[in-house]
Amino acid sequence: MQDQYHRFAAVYDAMNADMHSKLMVEYCHRIFRKHGIKPKVGLDLCCGTGTAVDLLSQLGIKMSGLDGSSQMLAQAAKKLKGKKIQLYHKTLPRFKILNSSSGKQQRYDLVTCFYDSLNYILTQRDLKAAFKSVYNHLEKDGWFIFDMNTLKALRTLWDGQVYAGEKNGVAWIWRNEYDAKKERAHIHATFFEKGKKDQWLRFEELHTERAYSNPLLKKILREVGFVVKGYYRCYQFASVARDTYRLCAVVQKR
């Protein structure tokens, strides 16, 4: 198996996998209005190919992006070429960004993290460390907005399911399984990329996620120092329920 988001990075946008980022930026615009959020400086964690960073910057926010995949950042750099957007190659859960002028830790009004990214953190200890890193990089009263798969999603949409598709010269087969004992969900992903002379090049990746119960997630956020201002069904402002597949949390630094 290749590393997560290794060769996948080159075909990510071709598969329209960045569509969630586009939807989340639209949703964030509504969240900003609802909660009176007016960020000036922002950081997108696990920014991938840079779609959310680009769109948030178009809302007038001075954005930066962070990702642990050099391949994803290479794609983001191409997309953001010519724009004054800083990209950082750093991994969760613990990260530290220093201001290039002052040498002090950089702070932001807003930090975002979209599309399963936090589900890749597989232990409660590391998730708390990631939240703490975000907290430390936020200005007083700064905002953190993120979405995650719920336990319901991993148990229902993943376990024993097979998904396949083809778009823009890329085909894929995802075989999903859920390990209830270890509370882990796995995607065995096989990709086919159309090459020269209509040849299809095959590569594989393994992706593993974990979801956290709503009470535990809120408990960790509070322990770090966040105040939960909104806890929604993703794309909506309805409360998270038992049948919710994706949640969105809107939290503020005390």
Domains and CATH numbers, the chain: 8-149+213-253 (3.40.50.150), 153-209 (2.20.25.110)
- How far apart CA 72 and CA 63 sit, in angstroms, is 17
For residue 18, give the amino acid letter: D
In whole angstroms, give the CA distance from residue 148 to residue 93.
15
**Cβ contacts of residue 47 below 8 Å, gap of 6+?**
53, 65, 66, 67, 72, 73, 76, 87
Given a contact cutoff of 8 angstroms between Cβ atoms, the answer to whether 178 and 153 are in contact is no
The total of other beta-carbon atoms located within 10 Å of residue 211's CB is 24
Beta-sheet strands, E only, within the chain: 41-45, 62-67, 86-89, 108-113, 138-149, 162-167, 170-179, 184-194, 200-209, 226-233, 246-253
User: Minimum mean pLDDT among 3-12, 42-51, 87-96, 128-137: which range?
Assistant: 3-12
d(CA 84, CA 14): 25
The reported pLDDT for the residue numbered 4 is 61
> What pLDDT digit, counting tens, does each position of 70-116 carry?
999 999 999 999 999 999 999 999 999 998 888 899 999 999 999 99
Instruction: Record the pTM.
Output: 0.94
Highest mean pLDDT among 137-146, 167-176, 186-195: 137-146
